[in-house]
Structure 1
Amino acid sequence: MDKKIKWSIKAADSIMQRLPHLYEDNGNNGKWSYDYGVILKGFEKVYEQTGNHKYFSYIKENIDYFIKDDGLIKGYDLEDYNIDNINNGKMLFPLYKKTKMEKYKKAADLLFCQLQRHPRTSEGAFWHKKIYPYQIWLDGLYMGTPFYAEYQMTFGNCNLEDVIHQFRVSYTHLLDKNTGLLYHAWDEKKIQPWANKQTGLSPNFWGRSIGWYLMAIIDTIEIIPDQTPGRDFLIEIFVRSLKALLKYQDEQSGVWYQVTDKLNEKGNYLEASCSSMYVYSMAKGIRLGILKSAEWKVQVIKSFNGLLNEFVLLTKEGWLNLNKCCQVAGLGGESQRDGSYAYYISEPIICNDQKGLGAFLQACAEYEEVVGEV
């Protein structure tokens, strides 16, 4: 790889050239899909670092397709009670801050209204979706909780107790004490076909779901004030979870597998999105002063170089390709996804999945801030 490339810029420019409209990619056809928010958070960081207005314009143009003047959101239905639908709302804060256009605040109010009404487990954790009752998925913490925290800090009453509570409940139920890893999901009622009848847990550790959780924690830590009760708990579980992952890192490449703990199982593969999420989390943890030892910097350098060597190729046009992305993985639903090892390795492996690209872009931007250009 060319050592002089600034990878955040290369990634952002490649995305803009390929996909002027994120909502037209991969058959989305204008769907209000959480993927866009993953990419656009990366663009927000690149804009902050460069001051180049084209990156802000890219955010605005992609979000403006959905946000109407009255704050209603094209393709969004509050009554779906789908926590994924909150994620794009994170982009409403920088848009409102810069433009002062009321439509962005009204749209944020609408999404916050969903969280106020969203169904919960008996302990007060958000269901993943109305169609997935009484279930906590690691993914959902990323989709909903940083938005929840930023709304409270921007437009709300700064009440962050419930934000911290989402992490307490999820960590309590999803942690495997033997490995320190987190299971993908938990069913409070213990009735889902994928759920263990004694514990309610799904049967495997999925790399990207752990990545979502780590990003959710570190993003929330950045948003909330230092003196917030429970912030120390977030720091504790963040560091503990990252340390647990180091035991399952591929030593040669420096990156991680689709099914985290099955390093030598037939069919398992090194996966780009989860590895990018872990690099992002490490780099941001260093920047925020949470990961203080020199070993963490050595680790993030090793893993970032692993991203480049294992997953990144440049086309003849100079565009970036991110390979080995799991397209999707979930539990239950119409296809009765069973959470087995065979299931996780059976989902399509694709190039330039938006979730993977977004995580990679965010990882590059954070890495370059704490380490510099590769």
Structure 2
Amino acid sequence: MWTGILQLYDATGDKAFLNYVYDDMHTRVASDGALPLFKPIPYNIDMINAGRVLLPLHKATGEARFRKAIDVQFEPLKTFPRTKTSNYWHKARYPWQVWLDGLYMGQPFQTQYARVTKNPALFADTVNQIRTVEKILRHPGNGLYYHGWDESRAQRWADPKTGLSPNFWGRAMGWWVCALIDTYDLSDGFDAQGRADIARILRQTIEALLAVRSRDGLWYQVLDQGTRAGNYEEASASAMITYAILKAARLGIVDAPTRAEGMKSLSALIERFVTPTALNGICQVAGLGGTPYRDGSYDYYLSEKIVANDPKGVGALFMALAEALRV
């Protein structure tokens, strides 16, 4: 959510947004860059993404502690376990697994760190991980991406031949397109072919997502089964995909008519889910494996609790609104 708030600051210049994030981070970052309130679970890619707010805070305040904290935040990635394809595991407790969620949690921050440290090899690594996900997790027919892949084929949710999970979860693809557009944005000046590949993958993915959008302009919890009983339009996926479309238009990856489709989705998102006090319709959490076991089935994704004001949805809405303001 901090990222969305900072993007609203960038779009509006209203320092209230910057001050909100600064006040929240003030006690979290020590003078030497240590993160005393941050207790990362060892090798958990979900813990990495929050580090993206440190560089904007450093630039806005000039406080050296925020720059030092960027190095602290990157440290786990130096030894993070990887698949044989060289992709980061999702977590140590999910070995040999790549989830779409994890691309957003790790790759934009890694690309940002590559810029800070002037290390193009890090961006090359990011491009390799993205290309591998396209090669393995993309369905060749509809262009959608499966939620996860188990290289070891050990999980019950994994297809014994491909290692892929069975369904296309909405928010997983929301994370994926956010990872693509933010990585592209942060990689300006790095390898042109790598950036071109990211842009191509994003453009093709947006086309696939628009093909399964609801009549109202939103996206379903299980993307390709909108007419199936129990499925529903989900707020966080819709906000993330809308953000990616609008930002891709601003950066020249998709055209003006596609931006208009993104604005249609933003209007639908606000009309369908936003009240004066809440963003409703957010899937609280979903994953694969674990305890109790999540089998990746259609019924599983529909069984997860639907909540209001979850940061995963609110932050994405802020990001989409910020892009809508950048005309």
Q: Same fold (TM over 0.5)?
A: yes
Q: Does 1:339 align with 2:296?
A: yes
Bigger shift: residues 221-230 or 352-361: 221-230
Where does 1:1-374 land on structure 2 (aligned, <5 Å)?
Answer: 39-77=1-39, 80-159=42-121, 160-226=123-189, 228=191, 229-251=193-215, 253-292=216-255, 294-314=256-276, 319=277, 321-370=278-327
Deviations 1:5-35 (A, max 9, x none): xxxxxxxxxxxxxxxxxxxxxxxxxxxxxxx
Q: State the alpha-carbon separation in 1 of the partners of residues 264 and 14 from structure 2.
A: 29
Deviations 1:301-360 (A, max 9, x none): 22111111211122xxxx4x1110000001111211111111100000011111000001
Are the counterparts in 2 of residues 277 and 363 from structure 1 also a CA contact under 8 Å? yes
RMSD: 1.4
Are the counterparts in 1 of residues 120 and 190 from structure 2 also a CA contact under 8 Å? no
Secondary structure (helix, strand or coil) at the match of 2:120 reads: coil
Deviations 1:277-306 (A, max 9, x none): 1110110011111112x3213312221111
Q: State the alpha-carbon separation in 2 of the partners of residues 120 and 65 from structure 1.
A: 33
Are the counterparts in 1 of residues 4 and 319 from structure 2 also a CA contact under 8 Å? yes
Q: State the alpha-carbon separation in 2 of the partners of residues 217 and 67 from structure 1.
A: 28
Are the counterparts in 2 of residues 78 and 114 from structure 1 also a CA contact under 8 Å? no
Give the unaligned 5+ runs of structure 1. 1-38
Deviations 1:139-190 (A, max 9, x none): 0010110000011101342332111111011121111111100000000000
Are the counterparts in 2 of residues 78 and 111 from structure 1 also a CA contact under 8 Å? no
Q: State the alpha-carbon separation in 2 of the partners of residues 60 and 97 from structure 1.
A: 12
Which residue is 1:12 aligned to? none
Q: State the alpha-carbon separation in 2 of the partners of residues 169 and 137 from structure 1.
A: 12
Deviations 1:212-269 (A, max 9, x none): 0000000011111256231111011000011001111111x11110000111111110
Aligned residue type for 2:298: Y
Which residue is 1:5 aligned to? none
Aligned residue type for 2:310: D
Aligned residue type for 1:181: L
Are the counterparts in 2 of residues 128 and 137 from structure 1 also a CA contact under 8 Å? yes
TM-score by length of 1: 0.84
Deviations 1:69-114 (A, max 9, x none): 2222234456611011001100000111122322212221122111
Aligned residue pairs, count: 325
Secondary structure (helix, strand or coil) at the match of 2:214 reads: coil
Secondary structure (helix, strand or coil) at the match of 2:81 reads: coil
Q: Percent identity?
A: 42
Q: State the alpha-carbon separation in 2 of the partners of residues 53 and 260 from structure 1.
A: 38
Aligned residue type for 2:47: N
Q: State the alpha-carbon separation in 1 of the partners of residues 263 and 197 from structure 2.
A: 27
Aligned residue type for 2:309: N
Are the counterparts in 2 of residues 272 and 324 from structure 1 also a CA contact under 8 Å? yes
Are the counterparts in 2 of residues 207 and 257 from structure 1 also a CA contact under 8 Å? yes
How far 1:49 moved relative to its partner? 2.3
Secondary structure (helix, strand or coil) at the match of 1:195 reads: coil
Aligned residue type for 1:91: V
Bigger shift: residues 238-247 or 154-163: 154-163
Q: State the alpha-carbon separation in 2 of the partners of residues 137 and 64 from structure 1.
A: 32
